[in-house]
Structure 1
Amino acid sequence: MFSLAGRLAVVTGSSRGIGLGIARGYLSVGAKVVLNGRDLHRLEKAAAALRGEPGVAAAAVQVAAFDVVDEAAVVRAAEEIVAAHGCPDILVNNAGIQVRGALTELPAEDWRRVVDVNLTSAFVVGRTFARYMLARGSGKIVNICSVQNQLVRPSTAPYAAAKNGLGGLTQSMCAEWAPRGLQVNGLAPGYLDTDLNASLVTDPEFSSWITKRTPAGRWGQVDDIVGPAIWLASAASDFVNGQIIYVDGGLTAVI
């Protein structure tokens, strides 16, 4: 029931980090994946790396370079993907950025950029591909949320606000689309050792605090997200809808 054989997945922000890890995981259980990002060169490099892994057919990895906050570009890309490969079975809204700063000093433009990439993109990309899924009567959407759906820290206001909004959007998508055959859930990683958190991972004081604050006693790794992402994309989660699944080593369970 965890097989994705014959399924097509579109994963935004997948040239590296969580998105690339999820794409690799989907390939490992039989899916065909479309990698997305703005930088075509970086996408092609990621695709080549995936195609070079054992058991991965070259045709199983495709790329689609487009800006997830540009609705016209998203619509064009969706049309091209559907024309070339058929309607996606799975969409992972993973694209995200982080800009840290005090609320009183943060430029409004940085606020808008973080909210656009982390939240508005999921609305734009989600509804664009959902139109095809709804016409077919089935589909899985996984929105990559965060522990900051529940817990926040100073200096991360736009990111926390966007991820909280993404949780609400996930539930709204469920409310509207579940009766028509879609499952929409959020996957909320804890603190992971990724490029997005590189400055925190290399900060001895912060890194020590995270490992002590997390019951599992360590930073999360991208591989920790892959299994839950496969579950939410597979038939095993067909009755799971509108949920935010925390994969955080217990961080949100304790005080």
Structure 2
Amino acid sequence: MTIFRNCLIPTWSKRSMHTLKRLRRPISVAPMVDITTPQFLELLHIISGKDRYDYYTEMHHCQAILHHADHLDRFVGTPRSNIVVQLGGSDIEPMAQATKLLQDYGYKHVNINNGCPSPNVQHGSFGAVLMRTPELVADMLSAMVKHNVTIPVTVKCRTGVDYQDDFNFLTNYVNVLNQSERPPPHLIVHARKCILKGLSPKQNRMIPPLNYERVFELSKAFPDLPMTINGGFTEVDQIKNVLEKVDGCMIGRKGISNA
């Protein structure tokens, strides 16, 4: 895929030029429903050859993970060091149990979805609606301590939800996550807010305006939290430039339209 082949991975950025690179793989492929399937992840592995990029699975509900416990490699994809399993759910114990199961099966990273606006996901009280209850997300992370989860568990979110889209809302959300017994070691931010009513998931990827500056501002407010930006990145130079301001850049549908 051209956009990936042409992305040079820097060993440092202006954000962390006095320290070692904080993300081993600064460039990643976004979780996409019905796209980042086990078969597509295998294709990405064949194309890239080495683990140069992180590949996120499509979102899997925690109960589905528990249900498919004996064949997760077929259901989720082959466990590899650069595969990140995205998990959805709002129930604390099943989320922790599913994460431990993934860890025991050999997966090295899990990501909690706090950004999906689809009606079905809203009905299940997870995805983007969890940004309104960050205490619940923090409790999920804390429960993973009791279940002996040791792999990184990160969070992917939006810049806001509906009219709750100011900087104070976003910083409060991150502050609450950081108060967990095991704060997320890495935050991925889709640089758009989402509109829960009246827009489809596809429209939510296009209509709310991109706000890269909000993510840059958040990154400055939390300098010890590695941060990846997502949303609208289609050019190699864009990606190189943004890696001077944040730790990582996540590429979505452009990656599948530029093979």
The alignment's TM-score, normalised by the length of structure 2, stands at 0.41
Bigger proportion of residues as helix: 1
The alignment's TM-score, normalised by the length of structure 1, stands at 0.41
